[in-house]
Amino acid sequence: MTSRSSISGRVRLAAVSFSAVAALVLSGCSNGEDPQGSPNTGPSSSSQAATATPSATATPKPTPVYKPADAKGRAQNVPVPVKPALADKNSKEGLEAFARYWYSLLNYGFETGDLSRVKSVTGDTCAMCGKIFPGVVKWNSNGKWVEGGAIVVHAAQSKFVETLPDQFQVAVQSEQEAGVLRNADGSVGQKVAPSGMLGDLMIAKYANGKWHALNVDRLGG
């Protein structure tokens, strides 16, 4: 017959063994490792994916596309002429670049009816302006528009000889393309025939770091 003392001893032994196993498991978790022995490197990738917030990406705005005038309507998204840096130089090359820039502003006025830019670099006594500007205003008002008729500059040349204090002359050779002056309903109000080669003379003055067209007039016109 088994004694009561031997049974008690086995119970105590089993209790000690269980406590040792439990302590081992707890110590294994407390040293930064999981029960399988893999190191504890922080939040799991799945939890990171759940908490990560994707950065917002701005959608780029589409660039407006230039559309020249046609029989259906006026020009759209006409690009504003950009002045070349050379056009502000007090030199022969600078004056010639300015003359070309001046005509690009005039063409911008044809397409948009906005003459403010060309006027800002032109004197009040500009002879050719007095002939052209009123027509530009007329055919860009009350729903009318200008189709074509751009002036193409072939050459701008100056001897860069001072005629008056800070004033110089530059000769411009150009052609005006065929065009149509449209009524508000799209019908033809007037046709503009191609001009052939034209000659203009610009008198410009340099002041405050910029050129200013005092006068532009047609040679022999």
Q: Are 180 and 110 in contact (CB under 8 A)?
A: no
36 pLDDT more than 60: no
Instruction: Read off the pLDDT of residues 93-144 as tens digits, 9 standing for 90 and up.
Output: 999 999 999 999 999 999 999 999 999 999 999 999 999 999 999 999 999 9
C-alpha–C-alpha distance, residues 133 and 168, integer Å: 24
Q: Are 159 and 93 in contact (CB under 8 A)?
A: no
What are the structural domains, with CATH classification, of the chain? 87-218 (3.10.450)
Whether the full predicted model's pTM is greater than 0.75, yes or no, is no
HSE at residue 49, side-chain half, CA atoms within 13 A, is 3
C-alpha–C-alpha distance, residues 188 and 110, integer Å: 16
Q: Is the dihedral of CA 84, 175, 119, 78 positive or negative?
A: negative
In the block, residue with structure tokens 């407006």: 64
Instruction: Read off the pLDDT of residues 42-81 as tens digits, 9 standing for 90 and up.
Output: 444 444 444 455 556 777 888 899 999 999 999 999 999 9
**Which one, of 214, 202, 218, lies nearest residue 128 by Cα?**
218
Instruction: Read off the pLDDT of residues 157-197 as tens digits, 9 standing for 90 and up.
Output: 999 999 999 999 999 999 999 999 999 999 999 999 999 99
C-alpha–C-alpha distance, residues 41 and 21, integer Å: 25
